Amino acid sequence: MNRTKLSILVIVSFLGAVLIALIPSIAPAQTNVHLTMGNPSGAGSSSLNNYLLSKTQYATSHNCSKGIPNWVSWQLNSSWLGSAPRQNNFRADTTLPSGCYQVSTSDYSGSGFDRGHMCPSGDRTDTVTNNSATFLMTNMIPQAPDNNQGIWANLEDYSRDLVTQGKELYIISGGYGSGGTGSNGSASTIASGKVTVPNRTWKVIVVLDSPGNASSVTTSTRVIAVNIPNTQGVRDSDWRSYRVSVDSIENATGYDFLSNVSASTQSVIEARVDNQ
Ligand code: MN
Ligand code: MN
């Protein structure tokens, strides 16, 4: 090998090494499929009250001061549904950063409020691992039993019916405000103040005609949004009676839903109240 060839080899090797070192910064950040429609509060790792937990099974913004999620977001299509049994292994989420209180299952004991799943157990039945992930306490809010076990569960069932019809859904849900009424009466917090009881429970569901077309949201895409009081007495009410616009939930929460959809399309589908 002569000097010229050696020089070229050294230069090419050096450039190759530089390129390899740069690849991680050039490649776009891996996007969680559950954030396909957007990240409603711009959650990340800089605030303990808007802390992004990006999981295989769902994504959530956790609020460490409130001990509940600000929102949980998940994709639902037939690939998530199978025959894995309900695991019932409610437990603290040890992936929370230091300085963030890890809510335990006993924090809800005797409170009169259910450990109310946001991403339902029934939406993750493809594998035991995925079902188990829905029982992390970062996926829970204190939910009035009548809300959780009646009207809310009926909407969850309806969502899975849509999937059975071939639809793909993008769902975001949470609670806002403080003060709910459970089976022991009203409370603003439980667990000695560590867990806020939301006043309202809300959900936004984007309904796509078929899986794999998340970029196909148009002004005719169906969006179901509900806003339900976190109280007893709503068990047998129809969730359809609590439908609202996405805009009204954006106004109440300060979040921007569906931010990955064009502004002009958002303005149409977020103003419309579902009536199907
Ligand atoms: Mn539930
Ligand atoms: Mn929006």
Inform me whether the pLDDT recorded for 55 exceeds 90: yes
- Identify the three-state secondary structure at position 203: strand
Which position among 62, 66, 115, 117 bears the catalytic label?
Answer: 117
What pLDDT digit, counting tens, does each position of 185-223 carry?
Answer: 999 999 999 999 999 999 999 999 999 989 999 999 999
Ligand nearest to the CA of 139: 1
- Sign of the C-alpha dihedral, residues 265, 56, 153, 135? negative
Inform me whether the pLDDT recorded for 15 exceeds 90: no
Instruction: With CA atoms as reference, report the closest residue to 56 among 83, 75, 78, 81.
Output: 75
Q: How confident is the model at residue 21 (pLDDT cuts 50, 70, 90)?
A: low
For residue 269, how far is its CA from the centre of ligand 2 (angstroms)?
A: 9
Kindly report the CA angle at 56 between 53 and 61, in degrees rounded to 5? Answer: 20
Residue 62 designated active-site: no
**105, 92 in Cβ contact below 8 A?**
yes
Protein residues placing their CB within 5 Å of the ion ligand 2:
256-258, 266
Q: Which pLDDT score is estimated for 31?
A: 84
**141, 174 in Cβ contact below 8 A?**
yes
What pLDDT digit, counting tens, does each position of 135-181 carry?
Answer: 999 999 999 999 999 999 999 999 999 999 999 999 999 999 999 99
For residue 149, how far is its CA from the centre of ligand 1 (angstroms)?
A: 6
State the Cα–Cα distance between residues 103 and 53, nearest whole angstrom.
15
Q: Which pLDDT score is estimated for 29?
A: 54
Inform me whether the pLDDT recorded for 24 exceeds 50: no
Paired sense of beta strands 59-63 and 68-76, if any: antiparallel
Look up residue 49 and give its DSSP letter.
T
What ranges do the domains of the chain cover?
A: 1-30, 33-269
Q: What's 33-269's CATH class?
A: alpha beta
Please provide the average confidence, as pLDDT, over all residues in the chain: 93
What pLDDT digit, counting tens, does each position of 91-124 carry?
Answer: 999 999 999 999 999 999 999 999 999 999 999 9
Kindly report the CA angle at 247 between 241 and 250, in degrees rounded to 5? Answer: 105
Inform me whether the pLDDT recorded for 23 exceeds 60: no
Element (H, E) at 129: helix 128-133
For residue 143, how far is its CA from the centre of ligand 2 (angstroms)?
A: 26
How far, in whole angstroms, is CA 51 from its chain's centroid?
Answer: 13
Tokens representing 267 are 């303005």
Residues 6+ away with beta carbon under 8 Å from 196? 63, 66, 67, 68, 142, 178, 188, 189
For residue 36, how far is its CA from the centre of ligand 2 (angstroms)?
A: 13
Residue 22 has a CB neighbour count (10 Å cut-off) of 10
Only one residue has tokens 């000097």, namely 3
Compute the residue count for the chain.
276
Residue 4 has a CB neighbour count (10 Å cut-off) of 8
Q: How confident is the model at residue 9 (pLDDT cuts 50, 70, 90)?
A: low
